[in-house]
Amino acid sequence: MSKKTKYSLCIHGGAGVITKEDLSNKDKRLITADLEASLAAGETVLNKGGTAIDAVCAAVEVLENSIHFNAGKGAVYTRSGQHLLEASIMDGATLKAGALANSKRIKNPVLFAKTLLNRDDVVFVSGDSVDVLAEGLGHSMVENTYFDTSFRKEQWELAQSLSDDAIFLDHSNLKMGTIGAVALDTYGNLAAATSTGGMTNKLDGRIGDSAMIGCGTYAKNKTCAVSCTGIGEFFMRATVASTVSNLMEYGGLSLEKAAYQAIHEHQAKLGGDGGLIAIDAHGNITMPYNSQGMYRAFVSERLNKKSVFIWDKEEKLN
Ligand code: ASP
């Protein structure tokens, strides 16, 4: 592989109701520091000539290990009070993909998803066999209580006191925090990864968009790499991630227009709430959302620019 392209990396730490009044300066500092550490981990890989796949894994792994995000440590609680983890990854060069759902014990689900890229017999594994397979492959395994945090427990207790319909309709009040990354490496290859605990108080066994290729995650060198966050049911119904790619490939839209349309028309018109990060083969980046905020950050070698954002919908990158 010869190096020719300038690298770019973009990450998110979830969308939802993130108001300036609710977010303390201390939390803002801690969350910003985690996003910066994640960006640095991914950028180090790209800077050394590593692949987009390794970069998105490195970036996501940092956030899976942080208590501030709803993925890995800090994942939300299901209706029965446990954590069921989901993740997916896609390689834009080969269109190979890996995904898992309902893992109880994999410390870093994104790393297990990555191992599935090497297989032709399976893309998506769910249930108890995920943990059995991961353990057999030597992944780092933990007890389900490892994922506990007091913040997510309080959210869960609040959700349990509401009716199931109320939780769904007003889910935006339960701050989310799914994580994802998209990258363009110096060989011109794109990759995307997403990891989550799902929705607070989700039905045990419910699988969201973050685990589904084409819904929460998609990558194709010809078009773009996408990672989504928001109420998964709407992202699944609108197949948001692959819609961005299809609008580019078959509709001739630019990355920015395709991503805007997928979020603000396809997803929002169904009643959804959330956003996405996306990158194309030229290193263009876009991060539209229709929720009140979305934790996100990017680094672009071409623009020689690095930034972390929570609000400020209007900023232009390209
Ligand atoms: N999309 C995730 C899900 O529905 C949640 C999120 O992005 O916060 O499981």
Walk along the chain (318 residues) and give the pLDDT tens digit of each residue.
666 899 999 999 998 766 676 778 888 889 999 999 999 999 999 999 999 999 999 999 999 999 999 999 999 999 999 999 999 999 999 999 999 999 999 999 999 999 999 999 999 999 999 999 999 999 999 999 999 999 999 989 988 888 666 555 455 555 679 999 999 999 999 999 999 999 999 999 999 999 999 999 999 999 999 999 999 999 999 999 999 999 999 999 999 999 999 999 999 999 999 999 999 999 999 999 998 889 999 999 999 999 998 877 545 554
- Establish if 280 belongs to a structural domain: yes
Distance CA 204, CA 126 (A): 12
Number of domains present in the structure of the chain: 1
Set 5, 51, 178, 229: catalytic member? 178
Domain residue limits at 160:
8-313
**Ligand 1 near 155 CB (within 6 A):** no
pLDDT tens column, 237-254: 999 999 999 999 999 999
- Establish if 240 belongs to a structural domain: yes
- Establish if 318 belongs to a structural domain: no
Q: Which atom of ligand 1 is nearest to the CA of 202?
A: 9
Structure tokens at 24: 């303390």
pLDDT of residue 4: 87
For ligand 1, pick from 100, 196, 292 the residue to mutate: most ligand atoms within 8 Å of CB: 196
CATH of the domain at 164: 3.60.20.30
- Establish if 266 belongs to a structural domain: yes
Secondary structure E strands in the chain? 8-16, 85-91, 97-103, 124-126, 179-184, 190-196, 217-219, 224-230, 274-280, 285-286, 293-300, 305-309
What is the whole-number distance in angstroms between the Cα of residue 65 and the centre of ligand 1? 18
To the query of whether residue 178 is one of the catalytic residues in this protein, the response is yes
- Establish if 2 belongs to a structural domain: no
> What residue's CA is closest to ligand 1, atom 1?
232
Q: Which atom of ligand 1 is nearest to the CA of 86?
A: 9
**Ligand 1 near 88 CB (within 6 A):** no
**Ligand 1 near 232 CB (within 6 A):** yes
Do the beta carbons of residue 41 and residue 226 sit within 8 Å?
Answer: no
- Establish if 3 belongs to a structural domain: no
- Establish if 1 belongs to a structural domain: no
Distance CA 131, CA 272 (A): 32
What is the whole-number distance in angstroms between the Cα of residue 191 and the centre of ligand 1? 19
**Ligand 1 near 14 CB (within 6 A):** yes
